[in-house]
Structure 1
Amino acid sequence: ILNHNVAKDLLLVGTLLDCCSSNYDVLFIQEPLWGVIRSVPSTTDKSRDDVIGSLIHPRWIHMVRPPDFHAPGHCPRVMAYVLKRLEHMRPSMRRDIVDYHNMLLLSLFEKGGKSYNLLNVYSDDRRTAINYLDEHSIDFPNLCYMGGDFNPIEWDPEVSALGGAAAKLEEFAASVGLEYTPPSNPGPTFYPHNPELRSSVLDLMF
């Protein structure tokens, strides 16, 4: 699994899809571009029609929750690409469990009924996704992976008692059978353009 905040960079998404199929089976994206991706000939007008959505690729199965047009600003903040060699595992976006623009629950199924549940999360500066997890934890099945951009959160694994949003996230992870997985190269995952601002850890994996 590769987890990446692409900051609405369509070119970066295309590069990841082209380059990652040899090493990764699942690509979890945060902050994808949702807008005009190309124009196509129109069947009703001399002008061309705009295709609105996100990038698709012939080697990947594309999964994204469509925006709620009755709620402006609720374009999808997460999406998933599953390599087509996993088609036999019937990859499914589980909107029956979580139907929320800031997270995507992906299930893969083996013969015999065993499932693998993977959660992609984007939490905005109001911590809405973390609060959603805290309020709806009873609705989630056990997970084998959760990762994403949990900005802004004060996460320090050296602290024995985490507070605030970090504590909520840790409690949710425990409730679905997960625990924090430290990276092989510890350190900040976000470096602000303004050198006066402090680098921080936004990207977490459980």
Structure 2
Amino acid sequence: MNSTPEANINSISRPKPSAPRSLQNLTILSFNVRKSWETTSIVLDKCAGYVDIIMFQEPGWKGVRRQPSTKNKEGDMACGPPLHNSWRPFTEAFDNRDEDRAARRVLTYINRRLDVFKPQLRSDIIKHRDASLVTLHFPQPRRGIPHEFNILNVYNDGETHAVVHELRRISETLPRISLCAGDFNIQDRTWDEGAVNQIRPSSPYMRLQELFTDLEIQYVHPVNRGTPTRIPDDANSRASVIDLVVASAALINQEGFHYKIKVDDRERWGSDHRPLQIEVPISGSEPEMRYMRRFRQNDR
């Protein structure tokens, strides 16, 4: 298993178990939480009952426990994200604190009810602080949904655009991406009517479009099209659309696939971004039956 080990010291309060949800559809959240440990923890707790996958950008990350050290008698401080009994964080194992090592800027959590799909962190394919690839294995997918459903979580630094360059560099070695979401930090009129078109060949927008072409994915408009995804603290600054959802044509054409930008400011929990809630139709009948049987057995 590629998720981090769990530790009681890093756990937060647990809600009572709820009845199992249907696995015929997945609810996915993509959300930049502004590096806040508290916001990350709250979202994990509040969303455990109805969200299946959370794709965090700029997640909370800090020293969480001591681990044995040959140099420090008090032990080295291990760094990691918040843990919760309902979720598996798909990231590499805790790192020793290293002032020269940059913190990861993406983190995908998979709800434990999706264990039947054998989620896998694809660090064998990509290791980058700004991108995370997770594969779900669907034994009986609906027509048009692949057996290996690849989800790409992206944070694009608006100054260096490092992840766009890296993903383009390795694009030929990447598997087929079904869904990509994240904070792209690129403004353009394609998704933001208040922005300026960036049609010059070397612009960040054009490089991003070239990446989408390389990966055979395309931008998807939300159902509440035109809604800003980033709300600056400065009331005089313009709200913008920089958080995007991109998907394969096969997924876009699925009846029931859509997403919305959540506009209730209470659900931002202090972030300057709004969450994106994505609905993905899958088959899931056989895994759902196995899950429900196990759930009933545990209740006896």
TM class, shorter-chain normalised? 0.7 to 0.9
Tell which deviates more after alignment, 109-118 or 120-129: 109-118
Q: Name the SS for the 1:166 alignment partner.
A: helix
Partner of 1:58: 85
Q: Does 1:25 align with 2:65?
A: no
User: Given that residues 143 and 178 in structure 1 are in contact (C-alpha distance below 8 angstroms), is that contact kept between their aligned partners in structure 2?
Assistant: yes
Corresponding position: 1:136 with 2:170 = yes
2:220 is aligned to 181
CA distance in 1 between partners of 2:108 and 2:101 (Å): 20
Match of 2:7 in 1: none
2:37 corresponds in structure 1 to 10
Native 8 Å contact 2:136 2:148 kept in 1: yes
> Residue by residue, what CA displacement relative to the aligned partner does 1:80-118 show, whole Å, maximum 9, x if unpaired?
110111111111110111111111000011237920000
Instruction: Write the mapping of 1:29-178 to structure 2, written as runs, cut at 5 A.
Output: 29-37=56-64, 52-65=79-92, 72-111=100-139, 114-125=147-158, 126-151=160-185, 153-157=186-190, 162-163=199-200, 164-178=203-217
Measured at CA, do residues 177 and 11 of structure 1 come closer, stay the same or move farther in structure 2, by a change above 3 Å?
A: same
Moved beyond 4 Å, runs of 4+: 47-51, 66-71, 158-163
For 1:201 and 1:68, locate their aligned partners in 2 and report how far apart those are by CA, in whole Å. 36
Amino acid across the alignment from 1:166: Y
Change beyond 3 A, Cα 1:157–1:5: same
Deviation at 1:196, TM superposition (A): 3.6
The separation in 2 between residues aligned to 1:180 and 1:86, in whole angstroms, is 26
For residue 191 of structure 1, report the CA deviation from its aligned partner: 2.0
Is 1:193 aligned to 2:227, yes or no? no
d(CA) in 1 for partners of 2:99 and 2:213?
A: 32
Q: TM-score, normalised by structure 1?
A: 0.84
Quote the residue 2:279 is aligned against. none
* In 2, Cα distance between equivalents of 1:74 and 1:154: 25
Q: Which amino acid aligns with 1:201?
A: V
Q: Give secondary structure in 1 for the equivalent of 2:219.
A: coil
Aligned pairs, number: 204
Deviation at 1:71, TM superposition (A): 8.2
**What is the alpha-carbon root mean square deviation over aligned residues?**
3.1
Q: Which segments of 5 or more consecutive residues in structure 2 lack a partner in the other structure?
A: 1-27, 141-145, 247-300
Name which of structure 1's ranges 90-99 and 183-192 shifts more when overlaid on structure 2.
183-192
Match of residue 289 from structure 2: none
Larger-Rg structure:
2
- Determine helix, strand or coil for the equivalent of 2:114: helix
- Counterpart residue identity of residue 163, structure 2: A
For 1:98 and 1:53, how far apart are their aligned partners in 2? 19
Post-superposition offset of 1:197: 2.9
Q: Is the CA contact (8 Å cut-off) linking 2:57 and 2:106 kept in structure 1?
A: yes
Q: Which runs of 5+ in 1 are unaligned?
A: none
TM-score w.r.t. structure 2 length?
Answer: 0.60
User: How far off is 1:193 after superposition?
Assistant: 1.8
State, as a whole percentage, how many aligned pairs show the same letter: 28
Does the C-alpha gap of structure 1 residues 21 and 193 become closer, same or farther in structure 2, counting only changes over 3 Å?
Answer: same
- When residues 71 and 124 of structure 1 are mapped into structure 2, their CA distance, relative to the original with a 3 A threshold, is farther
